[in-house]
């Protein structure tokens, strides 16, 4: 299951705050802020999708993420690799390093990350 771009933006606020009332989430948006009904609709859809849970306090609801941020983004990246790069992480890495204009320092940092991961697997 995927989030729309707007749902993902709202989810980012929720991941950052860890739990929040609707007013807190509306306040997190830049101006012009969305209508409360818009945020309520987004939260309802995200709850139905299983991304958000809530605890009721009278008429108020405190929302919290049901999906870990790193798990969500891992699935998104893996889906993109599968869809656009024939399920080849090497093709993705090649495209990423050539098309994003990384500096030499950034490429060296990526190399260090890969080297460290290879060392951890031994």
CA-CA distances (angstroms) from residue 111 to 6, 25, 101, 102, 115? 34, 38, 15, 12, 6
Confidence of residue 90 (pLDDT cuts 50, 70, 90): confident
Fold topology of 5-65: Arc Repressor Mutant, subunit A (1.10.10)
pLDDT, residue 99, reads 86
- Residue 80 pLDDT > 80, yes or no? yes
Q: Where are the domains of the chain?
A: 5-65, 69-120
Beta strands in 25-77 (DSSP E): 52-57, 60-65
Query: pLDDT digits over 14-71, tens only?
Result: 999 999 999 999 999 999 999 999 999 999 999 999 999 999 999 999 999 999 999 9
pTM for this model (two decimals):
0.75
CB atoms within 10 A of CB 72: 18
pLDDT, residue 56, reads 96
């Amino acid at each position: 299951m995927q989030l729309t771009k707007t749902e993902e933006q709202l989810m980012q606020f929720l991941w950052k705050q860890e739990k929040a009332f609707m007013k807190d989430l509306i306040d997190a948006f830049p101006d012009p802020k969305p209508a409360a009904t818009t945020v309520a609709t987004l939260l309802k859809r995200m709850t139905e999708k299983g991304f958000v849970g809530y605890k009721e306090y009278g008429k108020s609801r405190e929302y919290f993420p049901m999906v870990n941020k790193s798990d969500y983004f891992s699935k998104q990246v893996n889906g993109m690799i599968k869809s656009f790069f024939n399920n080849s992480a090497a093709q993705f890495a090649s495209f990423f390093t050539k098309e994003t204009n990384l500096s030499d320092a950034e490429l060296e940092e990526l190399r260090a990350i890969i080297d460290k991961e290879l060392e951890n697997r031994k």
